[in-house]
Structure 1
């Protein structure tokens, strides 16, 4: 089982006991506003997410990690890698993403987990490049991406949407581990 320990967090595969706490995080409109369609997700949708992430682990050798606090075992959220489907500019590339419960925002947990995940992608899994996508104006996510050393590559507007997405990228030659 793939696990990564940081000073405060354990990044690990998903367990059955993670469903309810993650569904509570997914039910928060503030957490979900920049993810997918921006709408909160139900318990059933969250179960589908976990199933999809576990399938990606099995098929790709990477996926979304459950983020757990060392010591308490409390689930803080998810961070990890996925093969991007959209926007078209990054479709098929490996993307990094995260979502943490709102109570955990502003304490450096997203940066800590994302840094460990990026290192995992580029050094352990041997990927040459990782991308990220966030809505323009999502200052918190841009701050995390800046800390990772990811560079803005483009701004795109998804078809049928009234917002712009910023596309970021980093390759192995740019990574400062």
Structure 2
């Protein structure tokens, strides 16, 4: 598995030592505000097992993100195939950080590195991003990394009941936009 490095971050394979802080993130209502229900420890651990299996199967996925200086786990970032049943197909970029890592530019830094990997190493023609209409922080990161909103792709998530998590926005960036 490829490890990605930035000036301040390491995007790497998941370790057993990541399970506890990952579970704490998934049990944090502020971290999960735009994602839905909190996860149990078992659900959180199972997500890491899926992340690892996806990486092994296709060569990309969700990396664990750590601070280079401290070695502390601060979240995840990476690429994933768009879920079946969505009104579009492709590869999606995403990130999730612990509250202690918010406001430091880590999401943007990790996302730019992931975009570069997706375009330059994997040869993807386009990368998508999806977020709830209320997740202004993620939308700001999407704009900072050069993505543009595709209003024609906005949709209501059929897996969500009526409420703030149902309306979703689609952002895109083409490989040719980065050349």
Cα deviation, 1:7-44, whole Å, max 9, x if unaligned, reads: 10000011111101111111101111222xx1111111
User: Is the CA contact (8 Å cut-off) linking 1:87 and 1:158 kept in structure 2?
Assistant: no
Question: Does residue 1:149 correspond to 2:146, yes or no?
Answer: yes
User: Is the CA contact (8 Å cut-off) linking 2:130 and 2:170 kept in structure 1?
Assistant: yes
Question: Does residue 1:64 correspond to 2:62, yes or no?
Answer: yes
**Aligned-partner Cα distance in 2 for 1:34–1:57:** 25
The alignment covers a number of residue pairs equal to 173
Cα deviation, 1:30-65, whole Å, max 9, x if unaligned, reads: 111222xx1111111111111111111111110100
**Aligned-partner Cα distance in 2 for 1:87–1:101:** 29
**Aligned-partner Cα distance in 2 for 1:65–1:84:** 17
Question: Does residue 1:127 correspond to 2:124, yes or no?
Answer: yes
Give the Å deviation of 1:90: 2.7
**Aligned-partner Cα distance in 2 for 1:104–1:73:** 13
Within 5 A, what are the aligned runs for 1:91-110?
A: 91=89, 93-110=90-107
Extract unaligned runs of 5+ from structure 2. Answer: none
Cα deviation, 1:81-126, whole Å, max 9, x if unaligned, reads: 11111562234x1111111001211110110011101111111111
**Aligned-partner Cα distance in 1 for 2:37–2:119:** 31
Runs of 4+ in 1 over 2 A off after TM superposition: 159-163
**Aligned-partner Cα distance in 2 for 1:19–1:102:** 16
Extract unaligned runs of 5+ from structure 1. Answer: none
Question: Does residue 1:165 correspond to 2:164, yes or no?
Answer: no
TM-score of the superposed pair, with normalisation by structure 2: 0.91
**Aligned-partner Cα distance in 2 for 1:23–1:117:** 23
In angstroms, what is the RMSD of aligned CA positions?
1.4
